[in-house]
Chain A
Amino acid sequence: AQSVTQLDSQVPVFEEAPVELRCNYSSSVSVYLFWYVQYPNQGLQLLLKYLSGSTLVKGINGFEAEFNKSQTSFHLRKPSVHISDTAEYFCAVGPLIKAAGNKLTFGGGTRVLVKP
């Protein structure tokens, strides 16, 4: 079984400041990881994903995340946020075993509020 913890439920940040959203996971098997963004009353949109290879993953809209296997973390960062980055962000993990299919386990979400 997997579990995902997003350590901050809300993150207020000023426009053009950097932001980091923290995600820790636990799993008894190897995993692949995602960050999704959700704007109000909409579905989820993929920001980036990690499957293998380089631990630094670049995504859309200037976001990047770093996979740290020893710390079981997958933190999301952006060096300079815009007002349009105000949204809720979800970290998700999936087990790399065929029997589990592509079932994802999601964290509780981090709400980012960008202030002018």
Chain B
Amino acid sequence: DGGITQSPKYLFRKEGQNVTLSCEQNLNHDAMYWYRQDPGQGLRLIYYSQIVNDFQKGDIAEGYSVSREKKESFPLTVTSAQKNPTAFYLCASSIVPLGTEAFFGQGTRLTVV
């Protein structure tokens, strides 16, 4: 079945640690996105990539980093510079033409302990 796989589903991080969230898609989509979801704030864009080896900052990129070495994969690293990392993180992908919908993974819930 085609889709987007995020792992792990739950992740606990100690303060000061970097953690990497995995996102893999087998939909052959060129574009991939990372969103952060906090209660009452909807989804906010962290980073997006429209092609391999290229990515752009979204609205809240500070404290995060990404890579896009393969079309299928778009991992997100939450660094120790992110002051409030506890949130639900959603990865999405789409084809590039405008107006096409994004398909979402099941999310990773990150908690700082």
Contacts and interface: CB of A to CB of B under 8 A. Distances in A.
Interface string A83-113: 0000000101010111001111111110000
Interface stretch (B61-69, B70-78, B90-98): B90-98
Interface of A: 4, 6, 9, 32, 34, 36, 41-46, 49, 51, 90, 92, 94, 96-98, 101-109
A14 B49 CA distance: 42
Given A42-B106, A43-B106, A90-B43, A103 B48 contact: yes
Contact of A103 (B40, B45, B90, B106): B45
Contacts of B50: 101
Interface in B91-113: 92, 94, 96, 98-107, 109
A10 to B, nearest CB: 10
A109 B98 contact: no
22 contacts: A6-B42, A32-B99, A34-B101, A41-B106, A43-B6, A43-B105, A44-B43, A46-B101, A49-B99, A94-B99, A97-B98, A98-B98, A101-B31, A102-B31, A102-B98, A102-B99, A102-B102, A103-B45, A104-B45, A106-B42, A108-B40, A109-B42
B42 A107 contact: yes
A42 B48 contact: no
B85 interface: no
A103 to B, nearest CB: 6
Contacts of B100: 102
Given A43-B4, A101-B48, 18 more contacts: A4-B42, A6-B42, A9-B40, A32-B99, A34-B101, A36-B104, A41-B106, A43-B6, A43-B90, A49-B99, A90-B42, A98-B98, A102-B98, A103-B48, A103-B58, A104-B43, A106-B35, A108-B42
Query: Is chain B's interface secondary structure helix, strand, loop, or mixed overall?
Result: strand
Interface string B4-38: 10100000000000000000000000010101000
